[in-house]
């Protein structure tokens, strides 16, 4: 049985390695700094709520995660109808593609950035237009707006994806540039703003504040990063209710399980854990920047819980060499940056292990 042509050419997603994939020769614990996870783990309140929820696992979950939906709306001064809870933000991105894209539609994405934007568009047979980032690693919003407009006989773009802070660079854009972007993008184009790392951002930009200015704006968020719930797959989005109405026809009715719903609700109720997680990430970000700079390496300015470091040599080889030291990072070659590695902010000892290992690898490779 032949799959659809779009599926035949789709490359499988390549996630970061897990600690269980590595056996370091020195016997020290493996340090994983590859997937932008929270090294503190989830809030103890979220863990307890997840355990308690297992007793009700024989019952189907609330289809729309009503309690969590209401809590998110109250936290962010939204109406519950503006909020959609999903099985990770990846499901949210896929649902938007399945609902709104037709074969041949144009989709504008930043490059390099999160590969799922292009994957969900490609799955639906859309045409992808990748726009290079600005030099600081953020979106080139004027260029992206121009790509959306469809000049030269092209149709306007159907969806444009933005990522702030951008993965893998950590770059951001400002409010003035975003306001000009919203004004320039055709009203028929959905604007998907992925803010997976928003909590780590030192600036005061918040995509949710812009929802009332554009009926086509969708803000995607996740519980995988600052809340430390990557393994439970929990995300959410905010948009005008009219955006979600057709999406609800496509969405699986029970995609967010009872354990994830309970853990997410409890995580929202532990702001102290969030604050500790943010502070740890910012301290780690500063340490990793200094460590790379001391080695004479370029570091992209980042507002995420990670940094992108240009190691000035083959990133895949550096990643492999670091594995021998028991340190897992992410080669950015898959993002289209073949000489850079993306390093997540870990615990202080983990960050030091990485710095020591990177210095040793660079010395070994000359």
73 and 157 assigned to the same domain: yes
Mean pLDDT over residues 122-131, rounded? 96
Q: What pLDDT is recorded for position 19? A: 65
CATH number of the domain to which 22 belongs: 3.90.1150.10
Tell me the C-alpha distance between 206 and 190, whole Å: 18
pLDDT higher than 90, residue 98: yes
CATH number of the domain to which 175 belongs: 3.40.640.10
247 and 330 assigned to the same domain: no
Where among 220, 244, 268 does a domain terminate? 268
Least confident interval from 20-24, 62-66, 298-302:
20-24
Where among 268, 300, 327 does a domain terminate? 268
pLDDT higher than 60, residue 25: no
* Number of domains observed in the structure of the chain: 2
The count of C-alpha atoms lying within 13 angstroms of the C-alpha of 153, restricted to the half-sphere facing its C-beta, is: 0
pLDDT higher than 90, residue 22: no
285 and 251 assigned to the same domain: no
Question: What are the two backbone dihedrals, phi and then psi, of residue 244, each rounded to the nearest 5 degrees?
Answer: -80, -25
114 and 36 assigned to the same domain: no
Q: What is the dihedral of CA 17, 20, 26, 27, to 10 degrees?
A: 160
pTM: 0.95
76 and 151 assigned to the same domain: yes
180 and 68 assigned to the same domain: yes
In a domain, 36, yes or no: yes
Residue 24 confidence class, pLDDT cut points 50, 70, 90: low
Mean pLDDT, rounded, of the chain: 94
Q: What pLDDT is recorded for position 364? A: 81
128 and 202 assigned to the same domain: yes
Strands (E), 104-253: 106-111, 127-132, 159-163, 190-194, 217-222, 235-238
Mean pLDDT over residues 68-88, rounded? 98
Burial of 277 (0-12, 13-18, 19+ CB in 10 A): buried
Helix (H) or strand (E) holding 328: strand 327-328
pLDDT digits (tens, 9 = 90+) for 192-230: 999 999 999 999 999 999 999 999 999 999 999 999 999
Task: Print the domain residue range for 74.
Answer: 44-268
pLDDT higher than 60, residue 242: yes
The DSSP symbol for 11 reads P
């Amino acid at each position: 049985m032949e799959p659809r042509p779009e599926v035949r050419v789709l490359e499988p997603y390549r996630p970061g390695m897990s600690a269980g994939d590595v056996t370091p020769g020195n016997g020290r614990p493996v340090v994983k700094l590859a997937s932008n996870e929270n090294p503190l783990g989830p809030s103890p309140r979220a863990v307890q709520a997840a355990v308690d929820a297992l007793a009700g696992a024989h019952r189907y979950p609330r289809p729309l995660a009503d309690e969590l939906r209401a809590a998110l709306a109250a936290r962010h001064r939204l109406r519950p109808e503006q909020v959609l809870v999903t099985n990770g933000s990846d499901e949210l991105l896929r649902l938007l593609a399945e609902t709104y894209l037709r074969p041949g539609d144009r989709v504008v994405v930043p490059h390099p950035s999160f590969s799922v934007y292009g994957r969900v568009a490609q799955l639906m047979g859309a045409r992808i237009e990748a726009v290079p980032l600005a030099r600081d690693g953020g979106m080139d919003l004027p260029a992206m707006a121009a790509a959306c407009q469809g000049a030269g006989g092209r149709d306007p773009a159907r969806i444009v994806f933005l990522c702030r802070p951008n993965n893998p660079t950590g770059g951001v854009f400002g409010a003035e540039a975003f306001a000009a972007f919203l004004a320039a993008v055709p009203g028929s184009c959905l604007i998907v703003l992925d803010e997976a790392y928003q909590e780590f951002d030192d600036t005061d930009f918040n995509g949710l504040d812009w929802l009332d200015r554009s009926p086509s704006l969708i803000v995607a968020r996740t519980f995988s990063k600052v809340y430390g719930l990557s393994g439970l797959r929990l995300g959410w989005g905010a948009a005008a209710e009219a955006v979600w109405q057709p999406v609800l026809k496509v969405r699986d009715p029970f995609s967010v399980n009872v354990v994830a719903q309970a853990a997410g609700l409890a995580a929202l109720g532990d702001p102290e854990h969030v604050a500790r997680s943010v502070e740890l990430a910012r301290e780690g970000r500063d340490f990793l920047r200094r460590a790379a700079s001391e080695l004479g390496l370029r570091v992209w300015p980042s507002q995420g819980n990670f940094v992108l470091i240009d190691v000035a040599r083959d990133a895949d080889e550096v990643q492999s060499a670091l594995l021998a030291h028991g340190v897992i990072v992410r080669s950015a070659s898959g993002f289209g940056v073949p000489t850079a590695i993306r390093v997540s902010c870990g615990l202080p000892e983990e960050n030091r292990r990485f710095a020591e290992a990177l210095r040793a690898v660079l010395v070994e490779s000359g």
